[in-house]
């Protein structure tokens, strides 16, 4: 079960929410010389995912990431088509690579990848399962159109929103909460996000 059958009356990590605009600041160059550069703010009013840990939801601060359509090229992997949520958990190398690429891969490289065992893939993304509240959309890959209900959250797109009505997890505008993850799915999101922030680069490994 991907979503909880019943929403709690509190805001939780991983919830799908509406009504919080996610803003993205785009600058042409950093302001290092003290002069204002050209910048642009893009605001999207789509649904968003709460990525603040539950205990950090207070004083109006919320970390959100917009819920976005999945990448069309993910359809290149035929083993993912029916259930894109497989990318939320570690998988074998063979499952992570489109079959025709895997078959044509250099044997040494294939062996190296197999030896890694089950690992995360597409480490920046977490996929949300279809739900009638999210709706379907069409997506095209290699001249084929698919009706898709999965959505994705891109950890690179996390933004901070400040809303004084978000006082604590139990005290927030309840009408903003649409969907709540099941306990198991929330654990998967927490694990993958922890990995995203916690992975140690090789040069820093002790």
Partner 1 sequence: MLHEAASGRIRINTMMSEKDRPNAYVATGDVAAEPRAESASRLVVYPIGPYEVVLEFTNAGEFQGVVEVRVNADFRSLRQKIESTRYHDVDEFYK
Measured CA to CA, the distance from residue 87 to residue 155 in angstroms comes to: 14
Question: How do strand 137-141 and strand 151-154 relate by DSSP bridges?
Answer: unpaired
Report the residue from 34, 144, 200, 203 that binds partner 1 according to the rule CB under 8 A.
200
What is the maximal distance between C-alpha atoms in the chain? 57
What is the closest distance, in whole angstroms, from the C-beta atom of residue 198 to partner 1 in the complex? 4
Could you tell me the smallest distance in angstroms from the CB atom of residue 168 to partner 1? 25
Least distance in Å: CB of 192 to partner 1?
10
Q: What are phi and psi of 162, to 5 degrees?
A: -110, 125
Min separation Cβ 75 and partner 1, Å: 9
Q: State the nearest-atom distance from the C-beta of 53 to partner 1, in Å.
A: 13
Give whichever of 77 and 185 is closer to partner 1, judged by the CB atom.
77
The residues in 157-196 that bind partner 1, with binding defined as CB under 8 A, are 191, 194-195
Enumerate residues 47-76 that contact partner 1 by CB under 8 A: 71, 73-74, 76
- Closest among 131, 143, 151 to 49, alpha carbons compared: 151
Number of C-alpha atoms within 13 angstroms, CB side, residue 93? 13
Please report which helix (H) or strand (E) contains residue 144, including its range. Answer: strand 144-148
Positions in 109-148 near partner 1 (CB under 8 A): 113, 116, 119-123
Residues between 86 and 115 with contacts to partner 1, criterion CB under 8 A? 90-91, 93, 96-98, 101, 113
C-alpha distances in angstroms, 146 versus 67, 68, 72, 74, 150?
Answer: 19, 16, 9, 12, 11
Q: Match 């490289």 to its residue by tokens.
A: 109
- 101/168 with CB nearer partner 1: 101
Q: Residues interacting with partner 1, by CB under 8 A?
A: 71, 73-74, 76-77, 90-91, 93, 96-98, 101, 113, 116, 119-123, 191, 194-195, 198-200
């Amino acid at each position: 079960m991907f979503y909880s059958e019943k929403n709690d009356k509190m805001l939780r990590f991983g919830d799908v929410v509406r009504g919080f605009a996610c803003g993205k600041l785009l600058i042409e160059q950093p302001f290092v010389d003290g002069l204002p550069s050209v910048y642009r703010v893009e605001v999207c009013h789509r649904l968003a995912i709460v990525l603040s840990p539950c205990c950090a939801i207070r004083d109006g601060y919320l970390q959100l990431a917009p819920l976005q359509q999945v990448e069309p090229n993910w359809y290149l992997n035929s083993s993912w088509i029916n259930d894109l949520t497989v990318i939320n958990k570690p998988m074998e190398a063979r499952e992570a690579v489109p079959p025709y690429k895997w078959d044509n891969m250099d044997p040494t490289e294939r062996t190296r990848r197999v030896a890694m065992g089950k690992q995360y893939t597409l480490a920046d993304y977490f996929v949300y399962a279809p739900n009638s509240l999210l709706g379907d959309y069409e997506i095209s890959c290699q001249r084929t159109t698919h009706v898709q209900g999965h959505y994705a959250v891109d950890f690179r797109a996390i933004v901070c929103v400040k809303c004084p009505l978000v006082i604590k997890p139990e005290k927030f505008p309840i009408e903003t909460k649409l969907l709540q993850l099941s306990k198991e799915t929330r654990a998967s999101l927490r694990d993958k996000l922890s990995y995203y922030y916690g992975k140690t680069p090789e040069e820093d490994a002790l």
